[in-house]
Structure 1
């Protein structure tokens, strides 16, 4: 972190630590800057730096963009492995979108749990749980291109379908008292998949709900 004229300037490693998101995600956000309005950097000692206050304000707005996730199919077994066509049905998108993701993945797009080698191509399988977590992750940008949220009952629908990962995080916190959030997140990531950074955010949510 650099301080210039009283303002803090962060390089990409600083932004990773500040935001809790991985380097790949932040690189993709920078790559798509024309579409998402990512702040411009300033070169300091030959390295790109961003005004931390400006970047944090932009990032908060980016995460809170209105999203429509009403087309996501929440049924089925979380561990079921889906081929590309099944992934498209779950997300409510055209199968061509999944093909595009394989060539140019969006932020946080999950790695396949299994790859099937065919004669002319490979077929990647992902679980329902992976796809639900990705769609729910604001950084993915999924559901934003449709514009405004579907209506006033959106929050009510969300309340009726609580995130089961929050319960898993609460149970892990109770089972591992005194452990740091990062340690609990690492254990959850190893047990249930998804990134450590994602589980850290879920742990924070679980703690907040426990205090309500």
Structure 2
């Protein structure tokens, strides 16, 4: 670092070397200085090269990476907490945004945010559309004597399924609140179950509330039966984290191109989008997080 007029200053090359930002990103930030608040260079040039006050540029970069989020914006974690939507479903909705009309996101630092009211209204429309389609099936399938015994196919229609496969699986491994069959066509082998129509309709009506009330299952320490998040342990996720760290301001298309070239696993662009999304949400491996938490809990004198 050199000093000009008693001030430590940084050229664009100095910033690239010191902070690891791509030259293209630095040039893009400078070009957008009227909207992003990029500091002006000092008046003095050396060999036609611009320099920026080091402290002023570092403070701007700090604010860029750690901005104050406006109150009307919500992160993915906020949406999960406020709307009881799983992370996997949010990722799927975002991945299909070109066809489902998902609201646009605002990137602040390395995190995506959505307008709270805009997202809530859009999601309500999504849910309302799904409910209206299902309601038409419910009204038809639920009609009849509540005490009638119905089979798996009719139960499936009441639930809005096109076939009885979901009900057949639920008989073997019942989800929360799933009603016991009132009768068995084959009681010895426990096949051909029958339910009272009223029980099926009650379950169909309350299924969403029953599911939402269930506690979220967390991965136990040492458990290998479940993954804490999508692509956990996948080498492509490790590669995505590495590429993101090297090119934090690259576009989605650029990141996918880089990953496709560097990976030896054939992967679709949609899969790469989801992997990049997971890498942004989990920049550190879950086990590394757990080790760090354990070290913090142990305290500085744990090894003595």
Band of TM-score, shorter chain: 0.3 to 0.5
Rg comparison, structure with higher value: 2
User: Could you tell me the TM-score, scaled by structure 2's length?
Assistant: 0.33
TM-score by length of 1: 0.45
